[in-house]
Each structure stands twice: as C-alpha cells, then as structure tokens.
Structure 1
C-alpha cells in the first residue's frame, strides 16, 4: 500500500461543497489546493506527499504560477485527495469501487435501500447539483446572494484566462441551482436578486457556447437571460445581453442584425439612464456591425459616439460590475479592431499595438484575439515577416486558452497568407497553424 492510499482523503462535507465542486469541474487546482488547506486540514507538504508532487510544485500551483493539465498528474491528485473521478471528469477510480460498503447498515432507511437493490429495483438518480439543491433547502440570505455573485465574478475571470469550455458544466449547474431555489423563495427582495443572478449565469452560459461557436445554443441561453432580466425590468442588463447577441451576429456575417441589436441595446440602456461607460461599450458594438458591413461613414460615426461617451466617464458612476472591464485600453483596442475590420489598417495597427502594451497579461483569450488583429493589420500594411511573428504569438496564446473563435481567426489568417507562402516565415507559420488549428 502506498503512502498516499494509506492517508485519509478530503472530508466528505468539503467534497459536497458547491465551491469545491465548481473548482473540480473546471480543474482549477489552485483553488482545489487552497480549499484543501483552508477547509480540509491538508497543509502543502501533505498535499505534495499524498499526490506524489514536490512541495515547490504545490506552492507554484497555489500561487497561480503553474497549471496542471497532465492527465497522469490529475489522476494522482484524484487518488491522493480521494476526489471522486466524476468531479474531475475522470472515470470512477479503483478505490471508489473498493470503498462501497458490503455490510448492511443498521438503520431502517439503509436496510430498505438494500432491499430495493437486492430486488433489482432502480432507484431514481439525480444530477449532483439537484441533490445539493435539495439538501441545502431554499433558505436565502444576503450572504448566500453575495457568495453567488462572487462566484459569477470568478467565473468571468477564469473564462477570460482559460476559455469557457471546462467552465461550462459548473456554470450550468449553478444556474440550475439558482433557478431551483428561486422557485421556492417568496420574499420579493430576494426574488429580484435571484432573478438577476440567474440572468447573469444564463448570459455567461450563452457566452461560453458563443465562444465555442455553438451559436444556436448560445442564442437560446441569451434569450433565457433576456427573459429573466425582463421579469425584473433590468434595462441595463437587457442592453448588455443584446450587445452579446449583436457581437454574435457579426461573427455570423449578419451585419444588419448586429447593428439593429446594438441600437436596441442603446435604447434599452437609455431608458434606465445608462452610464457613459456602458453607452461607450454599446456604441463600439454598433461600430463592429457597421465595419462588418463595410460602411465607413457609419463605423466612424459610431466610434466617435463611443469616444464622446467615454470622455464623460466618472469614477463616481454606478457602473454595473459586468461593464467595468470597458476601460480606456479596451476602448482603444476595440476602436483599432473596428478600423481593421473596415480595412483601415494604417490607423488600426498603432491603436491595437498600444492597447496590447497596457492590456493585462492574465487575460489570455483577449490577448490572443488582439494579437491576431495586430498581425492582420500588419499583413494589410505589407509587413509580412512582422505579421508572421505577431501571428505566431497569437498562436502560442491560442494553445493555452480553449477558444474555438481564436482558432477560427488563425485559420482565416492562414488563408490571408496565400500570396506570401514562398516567404520562409509564412511557410513555417502556415504549417504550425495547420497542425494546431485543424
């Protein structure tokens, strides 16, 4: 028997906690280890010993300096901490089957369960999140609401850093959990808050499907988010969901729809006194639609409107948390992206390059997008070797983050290199894109 199997694993109460379930679903081992230390009694050296890792590696994972993606290591962690396989997307571990009790339990309920099993009667099963929702009951408190909101903020952060593919099951599970307790909650104040949280989770779910280019499913969740927000008349949030639908329309080459949705979003925001930051973001989404339609005058008009709104941003404004990402750097890079889509590469290139210098390095997916757009504008300016070097940076970022949209842009860039494929840098890049993005 190895040392890891001789030591007990994480407490069952911790493994049943929604925060741990969420961390496992997204394979966020930094958070798993933090929870193991803070609430499971596992210090770093014990985690290292049970999972057959070095203490320094455990420390690097906890600090966010290192990720764990190797399946062998993930399986060692599951076995060492006794995390059931299904929580980490693995098959049932050998020790799970070995731990199934073979002796009948003394209480009547367990004897009845044994009788049902012996009679080959199927006991109805539920998804884990349903079981947890039933166990938790429907009691809602301000602390519960804040915990849910913090989870959403954390989901968005990890979506920016890693993409939404691995995150989606946890978000959908929490959405089902919130809609479940919403049905059992009578207090009007709590109901309003829960509607808002459910709307945010539905929008985030839609976003993960959009990023995966599963547009039909994304639209379904965006529509559900609109319905939830409409029930509490949250006009500003409705505006944001319409802006998401507008961006999706540009990816589907539906430029007119994109413009219509962006303008509807602005109308909705104005009804609730939309802040300058929000109005600037919505104007840029309209600019994307016009640029997709190659309408130069309308694109510049929408960009100017966005700049005008942003000039009136006040730190004292009560901006919704979900629009606070739209800062000066984001305005700059989005302006450059719209101009690049319009074909005005000379104006777009310095704007995107400037924004990339200021953009957080942790936002990997955004940096991958913006690096691609910089490469595209450089190519349009006939800076072929520089464009290939920049696109290589985008490709390196794309191997880190799970985003089919990023890979689609890189495949587009490969097509744009068609007339330059005699240049060694282009030949090498085309081969790498073909290997990675197909």
Structure 2
C-alpha cells in the first residue's frame, strides 16, 4: 500500500514540476498531492517508518498551502500531531499543532473536521496526563460528531463517525487511568463499528482487552483473553507495526497473570508476533 502510494505521489509531483497547466488545474493537482502525501505519511507511520512519515507530512502540508486548502492543511497537522504524541514522545508539540490547525481553519470547519481535531487534542492531553483538558476535548469532539453533515465533508474525513470518536475517547480514558469509563466507551464503539474497519476494530478490541486487565469494578481476565485472541486474528490480517505494538502492550498487561492457563495460551500465541 505504501509503495503504491509513493509511486502515485511521485507521479503527481513530477506532473506539477514538468507539465503546463492553468491555475485551477494547478490547485487541483496540489490538493491531490497533499492528500497522497498525508496518506503516505500515515502508511509510513503504521509500518514503522517514522522519519519517512514526517517528510511526507511536511510535503503534504506545503501542497495544501499551495492549494490554499485550509481544512486539508488542518487534517495534515492533526496527522502530524498524532505522530508527535504517539510515536515521537512529543505530546506538548502535538497540542500546539492542533491549536494551530483549529486557529487556521476558524470559520471554515465542518463538524467532522472539528470532531477529528478535538479528538487529536484529547489524545495529546491524555499523553500529558492532563485529565481536565483531555475530558473537555473529548466532550467537544462528541458534541461535534452528533452534528455530522457527511455531504459537506471531503472524502478524507470518511472515517469520522460516532464509533471512531467514542473509541478514541475510550483509549484516552484508559491512558488517564480510568479503566471502567474506558471499558464503557470502547464497548459502545465496537458495537457501532462497521465490520469493514478491520484496523480500527483491532485498535479498539486490543485496548478494551487492556482495560479489562486493570484494577476496577469491571476487571475480567477471561473476557480480556477472548478479546486478545481476536486481536491476534485481526493483526495477522494486517501489515501494521502499530497494531503489533498495541498487541505487545496487551501481552505485557497479561503477562503477570500467566498462572492462569488461558492467559498462558494467549501469551504463547502472541509471543511470536510481539517478538517479530
């Protein structure tokens, strides 16, 4: 997927550099280049090429600026914020990137774009362990997702829906040390999720399993193991370093309970994937 997207990115970049076109066509080409660059950046992150991802995001942001497409630029900044918080250990920079995106698109945001930006804001605050700011951002994201107008949104916001926002909220709450609230959110998200969203399901199922291993009223190792086995099935169908990382987190959450036979079965099956 990444290899094909890189080829298409290079083809559009060469077309912009070498071909003759009017202003309208040039803007359209820059939009395409920005969209491809964002996708290449996301794919590179998902397969563990973080430096490459950053280069694609920067190129995509420049293309969006050349096209004067502020919503697309904000979306790319949100992708950069996700990388900064999740992969690079820079959640404070992620907060700044989202605030820049919100300011740069003020007055031109659809509910879907705002929901996505506020959710990335919440994610960054969760990494900073700022409970108040995180829960406020989650509330803003959930308010916006209730007002979605899909006909007004560009195709790249296709994935923004109640299941995505609720699931990501659950992940944030788990990071904040609120497993019971996280379990409620993640369970709701999985129930709403379209079955074609395999990558998202693996993300939410794995975090729900982790939440069920934590001390709390709803702690349930046996349900966690069942979800963990599903996570293995799902990640084996994906080419995702990120997904393997989530599985690795669950592996370490369950490892202290290896005295339980079913936990040992999970650990034995997951070990080869986690070590790969």
TM-score by length of 2: 0.93
CA distance in 2, matches of 1:314, 1:241: 21
CA distance in 1, matches of 2:69, 2:185: 34
Note if 1:312 corresponds to 2:140. no
CA distance in 2, matches of 1:315, 1:239: 18
Counterpart in the other structure of 1:206: 41
Q: Aligned to 1:423, which of 255, 260, 276?
A: 260
CA distance in 2, matches of 1:310, 1:403: 27
Asked if the contact 1:348–1:377 (Cα under 8 Å) also holds between the matched residues in 2, the reply is yes
CA distance in 2, matches of 1:421, 1:253: 30
Counterpart in the other structure of 2:102: 266
Note if 1:387 corresponds to 2:221. no
Q: Aligned to 2:89, which of 253, 261, 281?
A: 253
Q: Aligned to 1:302, which of 118, 121, 137?
A: 137
- Identify the structure with bigger relative contact order (alpha carbons < 8 Å, sequence gap 6+): 2
Counterpart in the other structure of 1:365: 199
3-state SS of paired residue (2:61): helix
CA distance in 2, matches of 1:169, 1:273: 33
1:201-238 C-alpha deviation (Å, 9 max, x unpaired): 11111111110121111001000000111112211111
Note if 1:397 corresponds to 2:234. yes
CA distance in 2, matches of 1:187, 1:304: 44
Counterpart in the other structure of 2:272: 435
Counterpart in the other structure of 2:251: 414
Q: Aligned to 2:159, which of 322, 325, 333?
A: 325
Per-residue deviation, 1:273:
1.0
Higher helix share: 2
Bigger CA radius of gyration: 1
3-state SS of paired residue (1:343): coil
CA distance in 1, matches of 2:249, 2:136: 28
Counterpart in the other structure of 2:169: 335
3-state SS of paired residue (2:105): helix
1:355-384 C-alpha deviation (Å, 9 max, x unpaired): 212212122111111110110111114311
1:268-304 C-alpha deviation (Å, 9 max, x unpaired): 221x511122111100100001111111111111111
Structure 1 pair 413–232 and aligned structure 2 pair: CA distance change class (3 A): same
Counterpart in the other structure of 1:147: none
CA distance in 2, matches of 1:409, 1:334: 14
Q: Structure 1: state its 5+ residue gaps.
A: 1-166
Structure 1 pair 399–315 and aligned structure 2 pair: CA distance change class (3 A): closer
Q: How does 1:120-199 map to 2 (within 5 A)?
A: 167-183=1-17, 184-199=19-34
Q: Structure 2: state its 5+ residue gaps.
A: none
3-state SS of paired residue (2:196): coil
Equivalent pairs, count? 270
Asked if the contact 1:269–1:279 (Cα under 8 Å) also holds between the matched residues in 2, the reply is no
TM-score by length of 1: 0.60
Counterpart in the other structure of 1:87: none
Structure 1 pair 304–203 and aligned structure 2 pair: CA distance change class (3 A): same
Note if 1:287 corresponds to 2:122. yes
